[in-house]
Structure 1
Amino acid sequence: MRLQEKVIIITGSCTGIGKAIAKRCVEEGGRVVIHGLEPELGQEVVAELGAENAVLHIEDLSVEGVAERLVALAVLTFGRLDAVVNNAALVASSNIHTTDLAFFRQILEVNTLAPFALIQAALPYLKPSKGCVLNIGSVNGWSGEPDLMAYSVSKGALMTLTRNLGDTLHREDGVRVNQINPGWVLTENEARRKHEQGLPVDWYKDVPPVFAPSGRILWPAEIAAAAVYWLADESGPISGQIIDLEQHPLIGRNPPKN
């Protein structure tokens, strides 16, 4: 039980990676605040995990005060707060020609500013527990796909936030801040998004080797397994680190042979 009695807020945990992290946290002895925008799906997650282990909060992260309400719910329900997982994100296609400032601001609000706000609201409770923050980024934060411009920029900014707070909060308050950058993961939303872009329903069964040398893309449970290390005490004093979780290197990769 690597997370015994730890209380963890996980944004965007009604589906996908966040849901997988929540399930793994409870398996490891933790208790979780489930968050998202889908009440029915969130209720299903809480029912699966048990009311003694999970509580649900449904609210858009761009709404004023949501960070404070998430923290208050954790403390009121479980009596403490040990960790925050900033997982929720808006994934929307855009490029230099299709991105206006209103859209860009919306992406940054959810993907970068909301994580900052939640860390800020949680800090008074993370300090006494010597807790931690785990930001869920993306390998796109290093440069990004042509049609994921705003999303990629928001994840690049999240990396800088992690580096900055991973140093200052650890040094001043004993709170660790780290980030994992998943590669291509088979979440419910990703499966639907690719199908809406014209791929067959079972597109993930035949992914080109250039994108998936193993023959498949990553599973949410594999990201969750990695997340536990950073949330557990076994990761020790490590802070301010960015870890890519992909099945091929992003820098120095050998070009595929024809």
Structure 2
Amino acid sequence: MWDNAAALKRLYRWLYACVILCLLAAGGVWLVNSPYFPIKQVQLAQPLVRVSAQQVQAVAQQHLHGNIFKADVNAAQTALAALPWVGKAQVKRIWPDTVEVSLTERVPVAHWDDQQLVDSNGELFSAQTSETLPQFVAEITDVHARVPPLMVAKLSGFQAALRPTGLHIAKLHYSARSAWTLELDNGITVRLGRENEAERLKHFVWAWPQVLQAQAADISYVDMRYKDGFALRRRGEAAVAGAATTE
């Protein structure tokens, strides 16, 4: 072998490669543990509304210290994503001395129960808010999958339809039979049923200034589950029928 020039050349090349790899590895270890390139700032990509600066600072102190190479951006990202009001978190290094934190905050849409809220994506999360939000009530057992997003979409459509009346939804109820019921902020309940609910709500909006608004204080509920009309119950009285056609 020692008389084989080609084999010796291959051996030297392999040794050179090993030496270079060892030097690179040693240089990497030195950079990671060196006092050079320290993190000088952790900056937010956008202003925050619901997540406090103290919460971000606590995560930064735990995971984003040392130099820029040693900062555990993955652990910081996971910790930030676990905060109640954070929908999505992204943490990245910006050479030579900055870590940027980008947080997408949840937008609350409704109360789900005493402890949970529903955000604009239909996701449930545990947080407290002083904002006035409608209450979602669902009797469907599959509440953690399709129902909250469905109720968010329906709430948006119902609120838009009610805009001409100046009324707002205080509670949105979804029954086990997939029927929709609205409780309005003036105390009136509107029953829409399980089909053609958008069209039925349009009839209610038409009937509101024509028939219902003047006697609103006396109305308990309005049942819109009729083809060309509705029934209403006055507080303390039996239900009576009324016309609700737009023709």
Same fold (TM over 0.5): no
Q: Which protein is bigger by CA-based radius of gyration? A: 2
TM-score normalized with structure 1 length = 0.20
Task: Looking at secondary structure, tell me which structure has more strand per residue.
Answer: 2
| Structure with more of its chain in helix, by fraction | 1
Higher relative contact order (CA closer than 8 Å, sequence separation 6+): 1
